[in-house]
Structure 1
Amino acid sequence: MIALDDTDRQILRALAEDGTLNAGALGRRLGMSQPSAWRRVKRLQEAGVLAGTRVVIDRAAVGFGVTVFLGIKLATRGRVSLEDFERAAGAIPEVQVIQHVLGQFDYRLQVTARDIPDFERVLRRRIMTLPAVGHVEANVMLSEERRLGPLG
């Protein structure tokens, strides 16, 4: 674990808001030189604090207006390995996130679909046919608020 100072935290906040900032723009925003900003970002990358850059796609703008979170309880753990379930779930294009969790469910999946009938098709033809699926609970996302996380 790397020790973060206030400048590191400011860099992380700025990049969390806009991951396209280059070192020059980042330096201007934070009142530091471009080389200094570049060295700081490089240090954070090498330490594994910055693990990549992602593009956030507005799912509704590209025709996927429904997001559903599924809680999945596997029927039999011994017959099918967790890796088999994860591999099969990962092969479904509509499954955006697969989380192995502790608690009431074994897995939590984030599924995107064009609309509710499209989600029903994905659920019936793909999700319910995954290895060892037992109980499935669905929660349809109504709205979403993105937070930057614990950077301070």
Structure 2
Amino acid sequence: MIALDDTDRALIRALAQDATASAGALGRDLGLSQPACWRRIKRLREAGVFRATRLDVDSAALGFGVTVFLGVKLATKGRVSLEDFERAVSAIPEVQTVEHVLGAYDYRLRVVARDLSDFERVLRRRIMTLPGVGNLDANVLLSEERRPGPLG
């Protein structure tokens, strides 16, 4: 684990807001020179604090009006390996996240679809045919008020 000071935490918050901000602009905002800011970013990246730089895409603007959180309980864990299930479910383009969880279900999936009938198609033709799928539980996202920010 890397030791973070207040400047590192401020830098993480600033990059979480705008990952495209330059080291010069960030440095000006944080009272650092461009090279000092760049070295901090490099140190944080090399320490694994930043896993990736991603584009935050608005699914609704692309025509995906429905988001469903799907709980998946595998029927028999002994017959199908978790890796086989994970590999198969990760190949479905509508599945945005695959989380192996502890609790009532083995996996939690975030699935996007154009509408409910499109979700039903994805569910019936793609998800329910995956190896080892047993029980399913669906929760339709009504609104998303806040996305969690960085812990720093």
Q: Find the aligned partners of 1:78 and 1:50 in 2 and give their Cα distance.
A: 36
Which position in structure 1 is the counterpart of 2:12? 12
Which position in structure 2 is the counterpart of 1:139? 139
Q: Which runs of 4+ in 1 moved over 4 A?
A: none
Contiguous gaps of at least 5 residues in structure 1: none
Per-residue displacement from partner, 1:1-58 (whole Å, max 9, x unpaired)? 1100000000000001111111011112212211111111111111111222111000
In the TM superposition, residue 150 of structure 1 has moved relative to its aligned partner by: 2.1
Which position in structure 2 is the counterpart of 1:32? 32
Q: Find the aligned partners of 1:110 and 1:146 in 2 and give their Cα distance.
A: 14
In the TM superposition, residue 146 of structure 1 has moved relative to its aligned partner by: 1.1
Q: Find the aligned partners of 1:129 and 1:11 in 2 and give their Cα distance.
A: 45
SS in 1 for 2:111: strand
Percent identity over the alignment is 70
In the TM superposition, residue 147 of structure 1 has moved relative to its aligned partner by: 2.3
SS in 2 for 1:40: helix
Moved more, 14-23 or 43-52: 43-52
Query: RMSD across aligned C-alpha pairs, in angstroms?
Result: 0.9
Q: Find the aligned partners of 1:124 and 1:79 in 2 and give their Cα distance.
A: 21
Which position in structure 1 is the counterpart of 2:114? 114
Contact 2:16/2:150 (<8 A) preserved: no
Q: Find the aligned partners of 1:109 and 1:50 in 2 and give their Cα distance.
A: 23
Per-residue displacement from partner, 1:60-89 (whole Å, max 9, x unpaired)? 001111110000001111111111111110
SS in 2 for 1:120: helix
TM-score scaled by structure 2? Answer: 0.96
Q: Find the aligned partners of 1:33 and 1:9 in 2 and give their Cα distance.
A: 17
Aligned residues: 151
Moved more, 53-62 or 139-148: 139-148
